[in-house]
């Protein structure tokens, strides 16, 4: 008989991290979508069966742990592990917050909104009410007269069970394109990008910068408790833009809606995947003018 041994880690060995697991899942999901219809249905059946098996076992373990005081403490400790938290979320043990659900609902319609000249920003969720800003309007025939606001309302109310009402706040200017050639430049790559008052009015401002020498940079400026922080507009997970993230002033965190990566808004450190980090850019304020150093 052959000596068949598992190729993965044993129970007392560390397994892959959250980022590696997320990438593997995304790659596998892409592969399944590319299968022929019959093979894709079989693959989906297998996935559902495995998920049902895992879910049943995990829920049984959690129920038993909840029955014991020490078990409940262990559950809280386990939930701090990013991989366990993701697993619990997948199987409905940890329910996403209304903010996270709302961000995910917006992400689903955002490509459609942008294709028709608009965008949406979640400002906050208060009880059963979501407060948003929607920029742009659409007169395209494809929408048959339906405004972007109605598209967003349908996405939120239809996609988030706890949201019953959507309030549209006054719109703000869209992300600014700033050609850095005409504006003031300083030695060492420092460039003026706006006033502290203007950038402080919005929690997150997306800027596309282009220096006179052609060097380009997409950045976000975070306004938190009177402080401005600049980052490259790249999530540390898959390199997607972070400008659609939700800033929580109460906790000082920035959450990307795509895979739930949460960052310390002041330092850029990822809180659920140690080692992951947003790229912070030097920022200074001189006489009310904000300067950011853009390196090549």
CATH code, 127: 3.30.300.130
Domain co-membership, 189 together with 288: yes
Domain co-membership, 217 together with 145: no
Structure tokens at 191: 């460039």
Tens of pLDDT along 137-191?
Answer: 544 444 433 577 888 888 898 888 888 888 887 654 444 444 444 444 555 567 7
Question: Please, are residues 205 and 199 in contact by the beta-carbon 8 Å criterion?
Answer: yes
In a domain, 3, yes or no: no
Rounded Cα distance, 164 and 273, in Å = 33
Q: Looking at residue 221, what is its pLDDT?
A: 92
For residue 223, pLDDT beyond 80: yes
Last residue of a domain, one of 74, 90, 106: 90
Last residue of a domain, one of 33, 60, 90: 90
Nearest to 82 by CA among 17, 15, 9, 20: 17
Q: DSSP letter for 16, please.
A: -
Who has greater pLDDT, 164 or 11? 164
* Dihedral pair phi/psi, residue 230, rounded to 5°: -110, 135
Domain span holding position 63: 18-90
Least confident of 15-24, 55-64, 190-199: 15-24
Domain co-membership, 209 together with 276: yes
For residue 33, pLDDT beyond 60: yes
Domain co-membership, 161 together with 202: no
What are 227's strand-pairing partners? 224
| pLDDT range class, residue 216, cuts 50, 70, 90 | confident
For residue 121, pLDDT beyond 70: yes
For the chain, the domain total comes to 3
Domain co-membership, 111 together with 71: no
Q: How far apart are the first and last CA of the chain?
A: 60
Domain co-membership, 130 together with 46: no
In a domain, 33, yes or no: yes
Domain co-membership, 183 together with 273: yes
Last residue of a domain, one of 70, 90, 110: 90
CB within 8 Å of 107: residues ≥ 6 apart: 244, 257, 258
Domain co-membership, 125 together with 196: no
For residue 246, pLDDT beyond 50: yes
Domain co-membership, 189 together with 242: yes
In a domain, 238, yes or no: yes
Domain co-membership, 61 together with 109: no
Least confident of 5-9, 112-116, 187-191: 5-9
Q: Can you give the CATH number for the domain in which 209 is found?
A: 2.102.10.10
What average pLDDT does the structure give for the chain? 76
Domain co-membership, 203 together with 154: no
Q: Looking at residue 283, what is its pLDDT?
A: 85
For 141-245, where are the E strands, in sequence order?
Answer: 165-168, 176-179, 190-195, 204-210, 216-224, 227-232
Mean pLDDT of 235-243: 79
> Which range in 79-83, 98-102, 197-201 is most confidently predicted, on average pLDDT?
197-201
| pLDDT range class, residue 97, cuts 50, 70, 90 | low
Domain co-membership, 61 together with 137: no
In a domain, 12, yes or no: no
Q: Looking at residue 110, what is its pLDDT?
A: 82
């Amino acid at each position: 008989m052959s000596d068949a041994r598992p190729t993965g880690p044993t129970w007392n060995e560390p397994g892959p991290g959250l980022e590696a697991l997320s990438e593997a899942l995304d790659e596998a999901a892409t592969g399944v979508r590319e299968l022929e219809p019959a093979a894709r249905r079989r693959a989906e059946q297998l996935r559902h069966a495995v998920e049902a098996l895992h879910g049943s076992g995990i829920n049984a373990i959690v129920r038993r742990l909840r029955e014991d005081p020490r078990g409940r403490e262990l559950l809280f400790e386990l939930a701090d592990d990013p991989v366990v938290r993701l697993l619990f979320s997948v199987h409905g043990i940890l329910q996403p917050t209304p903010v996270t659900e709302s961000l995910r609902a917006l992400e689903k319609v955002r490509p459609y909104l942008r294709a028709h000249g608009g965008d949406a920003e979640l400002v906050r969720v208060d009880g059963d009410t979501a407060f948003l800003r929607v920029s742009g309007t659409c007169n395209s025939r494809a929408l048959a007269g339906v405004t972007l606001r109605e598209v967003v309302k349908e996405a939120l109310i239809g996609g988030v069970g706890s949201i019953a009402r959507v309030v549209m706040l006054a719109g703000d200017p869209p992300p600014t394109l700033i050609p850095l050639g005409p504006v003031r430049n300083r030695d060492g790559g420092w460039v003026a990008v706006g006033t502290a008052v203007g950038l402080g009015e919005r929690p997150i401002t997306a800027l596309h910068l282009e220096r006179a020498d052609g060097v380009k940079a997409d950045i976000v400026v975070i306004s938190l408790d009177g402080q401005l922080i600049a980052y490259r507009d790249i999530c540390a997970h898959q390199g997607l833009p972070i400008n659609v993230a939700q800033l929580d002033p109460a906790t000082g965190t920035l959450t990307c809606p795509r895979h739930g990566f949460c960052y310390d808004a002041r330092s850029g450190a990822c809180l659920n995947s140690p080692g992951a980090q947003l790229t912070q850019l030097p920022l200074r304020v001189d006489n009310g003018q904000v300067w950011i150093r853009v390196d090549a």
